[in-house]
Amino acid sequence: MAERLRGKPVADAMKEDLLKRVEQLKAKGLTPKIGIIRVGANPDDLFYEGGIKKTSDGVGMAYEIFEHPEDIGQEELEKAVRAVGADSAIHGILMFAPLPKHLDEKKIRSLIPVEKDVDCMTLGSAGKVFADDVTGFPPCTPTACMEMLRFYDVPLKGKRVTVVGRSMVVGKPMAMLLLREHATVTICHSRTVDLAKVCAEADILVAAVGRPRMIGRDYVRAGQIVFDVGINADPDNPGKYCGDVDYDAVEPVVEKITPVPGGVGSVTTIMLCKHTVMACEMQQE
Cβ atoms < 10 Å from Cβ of 65 = 12
- The answer to whether residue 230 forms part of the interface with ligand NAP (CB under 6 A) is yes
- The answer to whether residue 164 forms part of the interface with ligand NAP (CB under 6 A) is yes
Distance CA 229, CA 71 (A): 32
- Closer residue to ligand NAP in complex, CB, 25/230: 230
Question: Which H or E run contains 75?
Answer: helix 74-86
- The answer to whether residue 189 forms part of the interface with ligand NAP (CB under 6 A) is yes
- What are the beta bridge partners of residue 92? 34
- Closer residue to ligand NAP in complex, CB, 232/283: 232
Residue among 58, 60, 210, 216 that touches ligand NAP (CB under 6 A): 210
- The answer to whether residue 160 forms part of the interface with ligand NAP (CB under 6 A) is no
- Closer residue to ligand NAP in complex, CB, 82/211: 211
CB of 114 to ligand NAP, least distance (A): 21
Question: Pattern of binders to ligand NAP over 245-264, x per CB under 6 A?
Answer: -------------------x
- The answer to whether residue 120 forms part of the interface with ligand NAP (CB under 6 A) is no
Select the span of 8-16, 53-61, 126-134, 165-173 touching ligand NAP (CB under 6 A).
165-173
- Calculate the alpha carbon distances from 56 to 14, 15, 61 in Å: 12, 10, 5
- The answer to whether residue 167 forms part of the interface with ligand NAP (CB under 6 A) is yes
Q: Which of 93, 105, 111 is nearest to 168 (CA)?
A: 105
In Å, the largest CA–CA distance within the chain is 56
- The answer to whether residue 216 forms part of the interface with ligand NAP (CB under 6 A) is no
- Closer residue to ligand NAP in complex, CB, 234/281: 234
- The answer to whether residue 231 forms part of the interface with ligand NAP (CB under 6 A) is yes
- The answer to whether residue 195 forms part of the interface with ligand NAP (CB under 6 A) is yes
- Closer residue to ligand NAP in complex, CB, 264/278: 264
Q: For the chain, give the number of residues.
A: 285
Using the Cα atoms of residue 248, residue 250, residue 256 and residue 262 in order, give the sign of their dihedral. negative
- The answer to whether residue 92 forms part of the interface with ligand NAP (CB under 6 A) is no
C-beta of residue 245 within 8 angstroms of C-beta of residue 253: no
Please give the torsion angle defined by the CA atoms of residues 39, 40, 42 and 46, in that order, rounded to the nearest 10 degrees.
Answer: 70
- The answer to whether residue 165 forms part of the interface with ligand NAP (CB under 6 A) is yes
- The answer to whether residue 135 forms part of the interface with ligand NAP (CB under 6 A) is no
Site for ligand NAP in 23-52 (CB under 6 A): none
Distance CA 283, CA 285 (A): 6
C-beta of residue 116 within 8 angstroms of C-beta of residue 91: yes
CB of 211 to ligand NAP, least distance (A): 5
- The answer to whether residue 191 forms part of the interface with ligand NAP (CB under 6 A) is yes
**Which residue pairs from 219-223 have beta carbons closer than 8 angstroms and sit at least 24 positions apart in sequence?**
219/195, 219/250, 220/250, 220/253, 220/254, 221/253, 221/254, 222/253, 222/254, 222/255, 223/254, 223/255
Residue among 120, 175, 206, 229 that touches ligand NAP (CB under 6 A): 229
Q: Which of 237, 231, 235, 234 is nearest to 261 (CA)?
A: 231
The residues that touch ligand NAP, with contacts defined as CB under 6 A, are 141, 164-167, 169-171, 188-192, 195, 208-211, 229-232, 244, 264-265, 268
